[in-house]
Amino acid sequence: MSGKAPRVVLALTATLLVTVLGLAGCASSGAAPDAAAPAAAPALPVSTPDGYQDMLNQTDAELSGALTAVGQAPSLDVLDQAVLSAAGVASAASERLTTSGPVPASVSGDNAALAAGLRQFGRELAYLSQQIDLHAICAGPVALTAISTAPSMPNLRTVATSLGTLRSDRPSFRWGSALPAEKNSVENRPRNGAVLVDRRAGATGDGELQVRDNGTKDGVVLLAKGGALLVSMAVNAGRSATLTGVPDGDYDVFYTIGRDWNAPLATFSRHCEFHRFTTPTTFSTKPVPGGSSYTVQSIVLNTGTDSTGPDSSVDPELGVAPGAASGTDPGISPGSDPGDDTAPGTAEVPQEALPR
């Protein structure tokens, strides 16, 4: 919105301020100047059932918070940091279980198994971070799915069940609520040609953007104007799609490719890449006798080694409304050399460079 956000002005009169300060002074004057806050109760020794349960609660709570952050990570960089943080939490919990003192003898076996499982889990999370760095995993929900089937998970779930079993020599202990339920991976694909973001309301123009995805990954093409995303369209691997009604103007063209589209995060969840065409493109609509002519741009996404930009063999004014006359040569772009068949290149960009 172009309007200014309303400002809220907080005013505090001098009289009210003096009154508040006066009350504060009265309240503090009645207390002993050196009165200290009550000391926190000492932690129960882990050798007691209650003390051991307290340690399990701490481990569960920290792990739950760390994994929640993984699932809610909004971007690759945040996801990587969240996974590394979770790896540290798991490793620290393993260390705590083995160094906080003797535990009740009745849980020594389960405690050792839990410490070993968390140690292994920390290493697995460090490996997951490498997969994120390689863009094999690109979204929090998929990272959690991978975590739910990690090699350490079965043993950790077994320990949780064992700890929770009431025995004659010990009470039942609660642990494991932070462990994600095992989940199968399901790949989501955007519908070919689907317009995913559309902010063209009020803008005029009849331009067309023709996109061909020659690769093995799905793609999403984004048109940005003035640094802001205007419209985006999905193109499935090996297929073509056309975006019509592109408003007149100059645009930067971006695209992302990958597998398993996550609509809320607007990213592919697996094997993601992010690119920008190095040359902006222009769309225009012009009246001609009997109708109008408009820009048609064609791009090809080649997800193997490179991508080509706006096709120089397509006349940006090739699109002519029915009944209109066109005297342009469809084999030459305006301002181009008829013998020049080169096209603008692309550059890989970080995820945050894509317009939102």
> Residue-wise pLDDT tens for the chain (356 aa)?
444 443 333 333 333 333 333 333 444 444 444 445 554 445 789 999 999 999 999 999 999 999 999 999 999 999 999 999 999 999 999 999 999 999 999 999 999 999 999 999 999 999 999 999 999 999 999 999 999 999 999 999 999 999 999 999 999 999 999 999 999 888 999 999 999 999 999 999 999 999 999 999 999 999 999 999 999 999 999 999 999 999 999 999 999 999 999 999 999 999 999 999 999 999 999 999 988 899 999 999 975 544 444 443 333 333 333 333 333 322 223 223 333 333 458 999 999 999 99
For position 328, what pLDDT does the model report? 31
For position 272, what pLDDT does the model report? 97
Q: What number of other Cβ atoms are within 10 A of residue 37's Cβ? A: 5
For position 186, what pLDDT does the model report? 87
For position 185, what pLDDT does the model report? 83
For position 144, what pLDDT does the model report? 97
| Cα 352 from chain centroid (whole Å) | 10
Helix axes 108-133, 76-99, angle to 10 degrees: 160
Q: What number of other Cβ atoms are within 10 A of residue 95's Cβ? A: 14
Alpha helices in 100-185 (DSSP H): 108-133, 140-148, 153-163
For position 82, what pLDDT does the model report? 98
Quick one: which of 264, 239, 268 has its CA closest to 255? Answer: 268
For position 36, what pLDDT does the model report? 53
| Cα 98 from chain centroid (whole Å) | 36
With left for phi above 0 and alpha for psi between -120 and 50, is residue 226 left, alpha or beta? Answer: left
